[in-house]
Amino acid sequence: MSDRLTNALGRKVVSRTTAEELGDLVQIVIDVKRRQVTSLVVGKGRKALLVDWEQISGFGPDAVMVADDDALHPPRDDHEEAAADGKLELIGKRTLSDAGNALGEISDVIFDTDSGAVETLVIGDRELPAKSLLGVGSYAAVVTAPKAG
């Protein structure tokens, strides 16, 4: 089933074993090469933690269920640290084509809640397939230039 990142942001993250709320979904972390959600950022600032996609047992309209409280972890590398610091947030991220042209800002990301596969980037009123995503950094996201017409 597909979901929009804008719908998922703010969703409660809950431990399946204790039924305790662990925080709110703040952002997703994407492996650009695989066009795959690899983890979720839960909480903001110094308290931001991540949960690996493999630890998610359910991604519903009301909550994201994780295996247990121990599923959350601090950032383990520079990429996760940048995500936890908000430097890789996708919504509102400027987007450049591989030719260097500004295309606007990402207004949404559509992804599969079962597999974590990124399906579509929404840039204004334009939808680009995930395969067009080439990179995401603190300055911009870079995509393959869309075909005219």
pLDDT in tens, 46-83: 889 999 999 999 999 999 999 988 999 999 999 899 99
pTM of structure:
0.91
Beta bridge partners of 27: 41
In 3D space, the residue among 98, 78, 77, 111 whose CA is nearest the CA of residue 9 turns out to be 111
Structural domain for 9, as ranges: 2-84
Same domain, 46 and 99: no
Separation CA 126–CA 103 (nearest Å): 9
Collapse the DSSP code of 117 into the 3-class scheme (helix H, G, I; strand E, B; otherwise coil) and give the result: strand
Neighbouring CB atoms inside 10 A of 113's CB total: 17
- Across the range 23-36, mean pLDDT stands at 94
Residues 71 and 9 in one domain: yes
24 shares its domain with 80 = yes
User: Which SS3 state, helix, strand or coil, does residue 28 take?
Assistant: strand
Residue 4 pLDDT more than 80? yes
The strand ranges marked E within the chain are: 2-4, 12-15, 21-31, 36-42, 49-52, 56-59, 63-66, 72-73, 94-97, 102-112, 118-123, 126-129, 133-136, 141-143
Same domain, 14 and 80: yes
User: Measured in Å, how far apart are the chain's first and last C-alpha atoms?
Assistant: 30
Q: Are residues 6 and 69 in the same domain?
A: yes
pLDDT at residue 148, as a whole number: 65
